[in-house]
Amino acid sequence: MSVFKFGEILLPKKIDVSTWSVVACDQYTSQPEYWLKLREKTSGVTSLDLIIPECFLSSDNSEAIARVNAKMREYDRDGVFESVAGTILVERTTQSGTRRGLMLCVNLDEYSFDARERKPIRATEGVVKERLPVRVEIRKDALFELPHVLLLIDDPDRTVIEPLLGKGKEIYSGTLNMGGGEIRGFGITDVSGAERALDNLLEKSIEKYGSPLLFLVGDGNHSLAAAKECVDENNEKSRYALVEVQNIYDEAIKFEPIHRAVWNVDTEDFAGVLKKSLSGNGRIRVEYNGRSEEISCPSDAIETVAAVQKVIDDYLIERGGKVDYIHDDDAVHKIAAKNAGVAIYLNPIAKEKFFDYVANHGNMPRKTFSMGHANEKRYYLEARKIK
């Protein structure tokens, strides 16, 4: 069975990008005001009705899940969606530049969230298994999937996506709400060249990395892991997940650090434990109790993430407290200050080390990196029927 396939893409027949598209549900998790403002900006047919922002998840999500599933059945009954032949070349312009991606379906049998299994599709970070049950609960009875998963390919010669630039008919365009930038989608009916190029990358990866490695998860790892958990032997559609594939060498792809905000702790005590636990020639910044200081850390950004996360995990298990993972400097400052907590500013990783690290070491520590700022995350646009 192939690692990937093209087709099965759906779009609303009458698509208004500004109201249909909303950012990935796992963004702005400590900022309910973002989602409330977004609701004011959307009306009519909108993908916001088909997702549950993580900001509003609770111990009992049955009512919200039922509401989403009912809306999916309504959209299906009303014929909201139509099929798109072949694939879509996505062109997204944000403050980081213009990046390109290609929509396709990946075979979940060829994916593992444990990179040590050396599957052709691998997670880049460890899955927090406690976060999977609610995602599985949301997906298991859903009629459609709306993907925010981004997969990366190691394509320095630009053989897969770039040859498609300038080809295809524009099938959507517009300005994304809430500062998401501009987006355009081009229908590509001849996918044979992209198929050959991807097959070639897969074949070359065996010599390069010692085992087949075609895709690494850049974003949406928990969503892909939940999709794998929902594979039904009697439902062939459930074996696949719709994703956007991007070339890691695209200049507009920026790897941003994911900062930490820790609160409901004794800030002086926590900061003291953090400073005593870290060492090395690197530096990171922490803020607490109205002051900012730099502290020592390993020079390698990935090692620093692992060391900081261990301190947080151990401290919260022993003494309690809360942690959130924040993409932007300004947001982590505001959230930590609002909760009288500690803001920990981490350093970005070098994306040229990305494939080598996972191939040689397995998963990175969880929440090591972010592909761009929160407003640059994938917006829901395309859909796929999974039942």
Note the pLDDT tens digit of each residue in 6-18.
999 999 998 999 9
| pLDDT top residue among 130 and 276 | 276
Ramachandran quadrant class, 4 (left: phi over 0; alpha: psi -120 to 50; beta: rest): beta
Contacts of 45 (CB under 8 A, 6+ apart): 12, 14, 16, 19, 20, 75, 80
Angle at 321 between CA 25 and CA 125, to 5 degrees: 45
Buried b (16+ CB within 10 A) or exposed e, 161-179: beebeeebeeebebebbbe
pLDDT recorded at residue 353: 82
Quick one: average pLDDT of 117-124?
93
pLDDT digits over 323-371, tens only? 999 988 999 999 999 999 999 999 998 888 889 989 988 888 888 888 8
Token pair 């500013």 is at which residue? Answer: 345
C-alpha distances out from residue 109 to 9, 113, 116, 119, 274, Å: 20, 11, 15, 9, 40
pLDDT digits (tens, 9 = 90+) for 66-105: 999 999 999 999 999 999 999 999 999 999 999 999 999 9
Q: Decide: 21 and 90 in contact? Cβ < 8 Å.
A: no
The region of weakest confidence among 287-296, 309-318, 361-370 is 361-370
Structure tokens at 346: 């981490």
Chain centroid to Cα 322, Å, comes to: 22
Length of the chain: 387
Residue type present at position 259: H
pLDDT of residue 167: 94
Every domain of the chain and the residues it spans: 4-254+372-385, 259-345
Which residues have C-beta within 8 Å of that of residue 323, sequence separation ≥ 6? Answer: 260, 261, 262, 312, 316
Share of residues in the chain with pLDDT > 90 (%): 87
Bridge partners for 325 per DSSP: 260
Cα–Cα distance, 272 to 270 (Å, whole number): 5
Which residues sit opposite 100 in a β-bridge? 91
The C-alpha R_g of the chain, in whole angstroms, comes to 21
d(CA 352, CA 370): 15
pLDDT tens-digit series, residues 254-267: 888 999 999 999 99
